[in-house]
Amino acid sequence: MQDIIDDICATMKDRSERGQVANYIPQLACVNPGQFGISVALPNGQVFSAGDAATLFSIQSISKLFTLTIALGKLGDAVWSRVGREPSGDPFNSIVQLEHESGKPRNPFINAGAIAIVDAIMMGHQPKETLAEILQFVRFIANDSSIGIDEKVALSELQTGDRNASLAHFMASFGRFKNPVDCVLGTYFHHCSISMSCQQLAQAGLFLVSDGINLSTGARVVSAQRARRINSLMLMCGHYDGSGEFAYRVGLPGKSGVGGGILAVAPGKASIAVWSPGLDSIGNSKLGTEALEMLVQRTGWSVFGH
Ligand code: DON
């Protein structure tokens, strides 16, 4: 495994076409696009890493996987009255379907869906209480109490968050929100601004590899059925309107973020985190996707076979 990821890392370091760093969040536009990291965590506790795998980056939409897991724990199937579970086929920040579908987002991973999930888990609590709960959960699944929020990124998102504010107010206009829109948005921006390394993220994904249990720590996080369902949502919706392309090229459940990270799950085999800040035209990590494609070719880990 170390040889495989060293090879992948060497290939990615040399790539000249690295995509574009997200520029609609000014703080993310400052990140050096020359970086690349990968970590592969196995259920037996072994972790293989290469490149900038210890560097912290903004996990952005990967955090939506964690808030969905928390929401399912708190609300169970009632989550599905707040968001759907179908791919949207539209960009991550699109508003068009919301009008046709009475303010109910297609899935929990597009921005509108993740904002609705925050409203569902707040349950009348203050933003800082909900954020503490989200951070506690992420620290628990990653088995690392040092994980925190990058306040500069959160502020940058807040200052340029007109699109997300529009989505939130539009949903609220259908009477769908139980908490003040500004509290929901502030909480959403902050959970997107959690910083993690590939090493920490790969650890955090382990519960989805082994039927809801992080076998490296022995902690049961969710039931086997719930882990399976979360994986299927990641496969269908985790890369927005690029989900079909990702399934075709990589064939693993995965969740991307505009910080350039991707967390991918090879059920029964490994949790894989990759990071390279340059994005493709859809907003998914360009080299991260290429790296996962190479990894799957070398390991045969695609859920669709060799
Ligand atoms: O709300 C936003 O636009 C960002 N906080 C998250 C978007 C994102 O990561 C989309 N991912 N590829």
Q: What average pLDDT score do residues 255-274 get?
A: 98
Ligand 1 atom closest to the CA of 93, numbered from 1: 3
Give the integer Cα–Cα distance in Å for 295 and 195: 24
3-state secondary structure of 50: strand
**Residue 81: CB atoms within 10 Å:** 11
Determine contact, residues 303/259, Cβ cutoff 8 Å: no
CA of 54 to the centre of ligand 1 (A): 22
Give the integer Cα–Cα distance in Å for 95 and 233: 20
Q: Cα–chain-centroid distance for residue 184?
A: 18
Supply 19's token pair.
Answer: 């995509």
pLDDT tens digits for range 161-192: 999 999 999 999 999 999 999 999 999 999 99
CA of 221 to the centre of ligand 1 (A): 25
Determine contact, residues 198/53, Cβ cutoff 8 Å: yes
Which of 61, 88, 156, 271 is the catalytic position?
61
Q: What percent of the chain clears pLDDT 70, i.e. is strictly above it? A: 100
pLDDT tens digits for range 271-305: 999 999 999 999 999 999 999 999 999 999 999 99
Q: What are the C-alpha distances in Å from 147 to residues 39, 51, 100, 270?
A: 17, 20, 39, 22
Give the integer Cα–Cα distance in Å for 295 and 285: 15
Average pLDDT, rounded, for the chain: 97
| pTM passes above 0.95 | yes
CA of 42 to the centre of ligand 1 (A): 28
249 backbone dihedrals φ, ψ, rounded to 5°: -85, -35
Residue 306 is predicted with a pLDDT of: 86
pLDDT tens digits for range 26-81: 999 999 999 999 999 999 999 999 999 999 999 999 999 999 999 999 999 999 99
Which residue has its alpha carbon closest to ligand 1 atom 11? Answer: 257
**Is 286 a catalytic site residue?**
no
Q: Cα–chain-centroid distance for residue 287?
A: 16
**Domains in the chain, CATH or no CATH each:** 2-55+197-221+234-299 (3.40.710.10), 61-194 (3.40.710.10)
Q: Is the CB of 256 under 6 A from ligand 1?
A: yes
Q: Is the CB of 63 under 6 A from ligand 1?
A: no
CA of 3 to the centre of ligand 1 (A): 33
Q: Is the CB of 193 under 6 A from ligand 1?
A: no
Q: Is the CB of 94 under 6 A from ligand 1?
A: no
Among residues 115, 64, 74, the alpha carbon closest in space to that of 237 is found at 64
Q: Is the CB of 164 under 6 A from ligand 1?
A: yes
Q: Is the CB of 283 under 6 A from ligand 1?
A: yes
Determine contact, residues 27/156, Cβ cutoff 8 Å: yes
Determine contact, residues 175/159, Cβ cutoff 8 Å: no
**Is 248 a catalytic site residue?**
no
